[in-house]
Structure formats: C-alpha cells, structure tokens
Amino acid sequence: MAGEDRTKVWIEGRVVEAEDARISVLDHGLLYGDGVFEGMRVYGGALFRFEDHLRRFESGARALGIPLPDGLDGMRAIVLETARAYGRDEAYVRLVLTRGQGALGVDPTTCHDPQPICIVTGISLYPEDKLARGIDLLTSSLRRPAADAVDPGVKSLNYLNSALAKREARLRGADEALILNARGGVAEASVANVFIVRGDRLMTPPPSEGALPGITRASVLEIAADLGLETRECALGRMDLFSADEVFLTGSGARIVPVASLDGQHLGLAEEGPGAFTQRIMEAFGRYVEQHGTPIR
C-alpha cells in the first residue's frame, strides 16, 4: 500500500501532519464542545457508506445551526483529499466541524467562521485477542441523557458522558461500558450500538431509548434480514443481555465486536469468541462493505 502510515489532517485549507495541525484556543469546539463530527471507515480503498455519513453530518450541523463551509460538496472534497493523502487502503476518518473562534462565553453568535477539520489515521479500539474471544462489559453508574436534553441523533463534540462511562469501565477492569437510560433500559455502549440474538431474532434498542442510529447498526439490520433473521428495534434491559444467546456491539470504529461478559457474568451460549450468528454477520459484513463503498482514488 502506498503512503506513509502517518496521521493526516485537513485544516485551514490544506493537509498537514498531525503534529503541525493547529486550532485556536478560542474555538468554541474546544471550549464548549460546540460542533459535530462523523466517524467513517475506509475499507479496501473505499469509504464505507460515504454519502450516508455525509447526510448524517449535515443533519447534525443543521440541528446545531452551524453552516457547512462550501456546503456538502466542500465536506466531501475535504474527506477525499485527506484520505488520498493518507494513502492507505484501510483507515479511520474523523470529520469535524466546530462553530469556530469566538469570544469567551457560551454565546454562539460571536462565532462567524465554522472550522472544518478532517483526520485520517489507523484505529484499533480493542486488542486482537479480546476481539477473538469477546470483550467484557461493565454497567456504568452514569446514565444516558434524555433526548430532550441531548439528542443522541446529533454526534456533537460533547462526548463527556461517554468518556466518563468508558473511564469507569476501564478503571474497574472492563473493556467497555454499558450505558442505561434514565428508566434503566439499555441505551448503548460508550461509542457503539448494542445487539442481542435470541433464537432466530435479532434485537437492538431504538433511538428513543438513547441509542445513536448508527450507520453500521443500520447495515447489520439489513444484513441480518437478508440472512433470514427476524430483526426488531425494541427496549432492552440488562436481563435481556443475560438471557441472550449472543451479544455484540457495532460501530464505525469498532465494526462488529462480540461481547463475552457483563458485570463479570458470562453471556451467550458460546464458551469463547463470537456466537454462530455473530460469525455469520461478521462474514456477511465483509462482503457488504465491498458493495457499499466510494473509491477514494
């Protein structure tokens, strides 16, 4: 594969090395988490479901009232330029839009020039041995904010809730956090959607439970239906995970990750590693990405 394996960043009109990227200390994205982002993957030299990611990014920016510099075409060009500069056929892409530089204080009307940033690099969220045998979840003491407080459909730069839940899990010896909503139902993991398999049925919490409507999540629902599994978006509790045949997570960064335990209790029927249907989903996902990519070159 061509190119050096070094992080590339598009900022202020050009692609630079990560160590050369600079942003103002008065940028409201830094000061207040005022902005949106989108995480994408490059598989085999193509951006997976690129247009779907761009549409979600645009919707999030519109919800926050941040205009896209040069519109959606401008964002598309930035991502493609940065991915080409990175030069690898496998990569993680982080597209960011801050409200830009403004006066101290939360007033967003002092910001007049939104700041687009694109980061392209490699990513590995969990060790390979953990991915092979399944990760360990811990139920976080934190709760996912209600949608009327922080809409989970907007991927804002304020991920403090997820960051603290992840920290809690790691400090207590787990790989990932399971975050519940205010009613005690399953929302999602810190940065991934939650799925369970029971019999011939695949279930995942709907966005109304505090789950991000993930792109990989939508892909898995489509794949599962093609494989003949009944799919259902429904409220789930911790007991549903304990009684499931299989549990896995999905996300752009994580892809598809089998879950081995929750709060120290083994989950699923498989003694180790992904269950039979999770394996089928993972194999089908590998074929699916080949059919839903936008070439970067």
206-263 residue pLDDT tens: 999 999 999 999 999 999 999 988 999 999 999 999 999 999 999 998 899 999 999 9
- Would you say how long the chain is, in residues? 297
**Measured distance CA(88)–CA(65) in Å, rounded:** 34
Closest CA to 295 of 97, 119, 76: 76
pLDDT of residue 1: 38
Q: Which CATH number fits domain 128-291: 3.20.10.10, 3.40.50.300, 2.40.110.10, 3.40.50.880?
A: 3.20.10.10
pLDDT of residue 137: 97
For the record, the structure tokens of 138 come out as 């811990």
**Measured distance CA(196)–CA(200) in Å, rounded:** 11
Task: List, for residues 63-121, the tens digit of each pLDDT value.
Answer: 999 999 999 999 999 999 999 999 999 999 999 999 999 999 999 999 999 999 999 99
Is 155 noted as a catalytic residue in this protein? yes
Give the largest CA-CA distance in the chain.
57
**Measured distance CA(258)–CA(282) in Å, rounded:** 10
pLDDT of residue 45: 96
Q: How many CB atoms lie within 10 A of CB 85?
A: 19
pLDDT of residue 4: 52
Closest CA to 156 of 267, 253, 34, 71: 34
Task: List, for residues 113-135, the tens digit of each pLDDT value.
Answer: 999 999 999 988 788 888 889 99
Task: List, for residues 8-26, the tens digit of each pLDDT value.
Answer: 999 999 999 999 999 999 9
Q: Which residues pair with 37 in a beta bridge?
A: 96
Q: Which CATH architecture has domain 8-121?
A: 2-Layer Sandwich (3.30)
Q: How confident is the model at residue 2 (pLDDT cuts 50, 70, 90)?
A: very low
List the catalytic residue out of 8, 130, 155, 166.
155
Closest CA to 240 of 184, 175, 285, 286: 184
Is it the case that residue 157 has pLDDT exceeding 70? yes
Extents of the domains making up the chain: 8-121, 128-291
